[in-house]
Amino acid sequence: MTEFDKALSVVETPIPGLLIVELPVHGDSRGWFKENWQRAKMVAAGLPDFGPVQNNISFNDAVGTTRGIHAEPWDKWVSVATGQIFGAWVDLRAGDTFGAVFTAEIDPSRAIFVPRGVGNSYQTLADDTAYTYLVNDHWSADAEYSFLNLADETVAIDWPIPLSDVEISEKDKAHPRLADVIPVGPRKILVLGSSGQLGSALRAALGDQAHIEYATRENLDLGADDLTAARRWRDYDTIINAAAYTAVDTAETPSGRAAAWAANVAGVSALARVAAENGITLVHVSSDYVFDGTKAGAYAETDPVCPLGVYGQTKAAGDAVVAAVPKHYIVRTSWVIGEGRNFVRTMAALAERGVDPKVVGDQFGRLTFTEDIVRAICHLLDVDAPFGVYNVTGGGEVRSWAEIARSVYQLRGHDPSRVHDVSTEEYFADANLPVAPRPRNSVLDLTKVTSIGFSPSDAEESLAAYLAVAESAS
């Protein structure tokens, strides 16, 4: 018997993410009415904003019709329009709760949210039961499914009507026992730009787990016409975009300008479209070059962008595109140091060769080591931080490039006074190629990222550790 006029409420179950929902049903002598899915109210009550794209109805003529146990690679919102069911759900996801069972009766005044990878099954308790469900992906023969036998002795579902007395398809009877079920893995993480210095650091930190994929421009072209069909994108939870055109000076040339806009704007736009259409979290790495460097203090995430050169313009445009993706993190950083050729390695090499370099002394910021960026990205994802822009750099004192160079010399056992300050104009006075304008102030305010529990490493301490590792490897 349908219960009328309940208050909308969401109740957790022992299976993580599986949520029972009590629904308000309003009835009179004419019948009843309910809002079966009302996004604003239900998200406010605690349900995921899961983005349904398809509505299916399964009509069951007789009591005892039994279907399942099916785990699909999408989320489901299950309810009944008429009749009543006994539902049984089994967690078939890899993890500590694999094999956990939850059962409940569902009538028009109760629904259940079934997360991806949780096996779904039911038995009708009334004739003419209309079982309805919303899903956030279209059915696909290419999707990966998992199944469990309705009679599995391990989960031991206490069916109201014995399975020997009910209508079950031969296909459902043939599903494997729990010991033979392949657990459903997590949704995938895709790292773009995996051959670059940040991409290499991400690979080192994330490893080669089955659900993590790495791609370079050679095996995933963001400019391809068929990008939307290049992957089954609904299987992906997160894309980390560590790819970018970063040749800031070459970007000032005609060919470089075209390449920078193609990679940093057109490619990012295509990626943003994929993320938005498929409910993917897009993590995008930005740059201090989106600012002109004239601010007296540190730049906050809310400061308006004002790029000086082509590279900065393309990064600012890419950021604007990513900001339109519903689930996004823009990680804005500066003065990045990782594996491969970089400023720190160059200064260390000059010190060893006995060179007394002239280094820019009127640009200020903090070094950011790729390991810190990786830690910040992982932290944002792990704590489900509010979406938006986050500044991420090393912590500690603000330094000029010349001061950092002197630290490198000193840490390598050389006289830091061998490093001589010059202005930006003096440094580039003899350049034969176009030179991109640099922001003089690249200091980013770290208040927002620290407020969500992230602790940036002291840049000077990171520099010492980086040089120690580099020296031991040489």
The tokens for 135 are: 């899903």
Which amino acid does the sequence have at 356?
Answer: D
DSSP string, 39-97: HHHHHHHT-------EEEEEEE-STT-EEEEEE-SS-EEEEEEES-EEEEEEE-BSSTT
Integer angstrom CA distances of residue 240 from 193, 195, 378: 9, 13, 10
Integer angstrom CA distances of residue 30 from 2, 25, 35, 79, 83: 15, 13, 17, 21, 17
* 369-372 LR contacts (CB < 8 Å, sep 24+): 369/336, 369/337, 369/338, 369/394, 369/457, 369/459, 369/462, 369/466, 370/197, 370/198, 370/200, 370/201, 370/336, 370/337, 370/338, 370/339, 371/201, 371/205, 371/457, 371/462, 372/456, 372/457, 372/462
| Residue pointed to by tokens 């460097």 | 293
CB 264 within 8 A of CB 289: no
428 Cβ contact list (under 8 Å, min separation 6): 435
Residue 289 Ramachandran class (φ > 0 left, ψ -120 to 50 alpha, else beta):
alpha
> Containing H/E element for 320?
helix 310-322
The tokens for 346 are: 């160059």
The tokens for 209 are: 């787990």
Task: Give the CB-side neighbour count of residue 50, counting CA atoms within 13 A.
Answer: 27
- In angstroms, the CA 61 to CA 310 distance is 66
For the question of residue 311 being annotated catalytic, the response is: no
Of 131, 133, 245, 299, the active-site residue reads 133
> Containing H/E element for 329?
strand 328-333
For the question of residue 70 being annotated catalytic, the response is: yes
For β-strands 336-337 and 368-369, DSSP reports them as parallel
| Residue pointed to by tokens 């259409």 | 277
3-class DSSP assignment, residue 419: coil
112 Cβ contact list (under 8 Å, min separation 6): 18, 19, 20, 21, 77, 78, 79, 87, 89, 104, 106
- In angstroms, the CA 143 to CA 184 distance is 12
DSSP secondary structure code for residue 123 in this structure: E
Which has the closest alpha carbon to 76: 62, 87, 66, 86?
A: 87
CB atoms within 10 A of CB 415: 11
> Catalytic positions, please?
70, 133
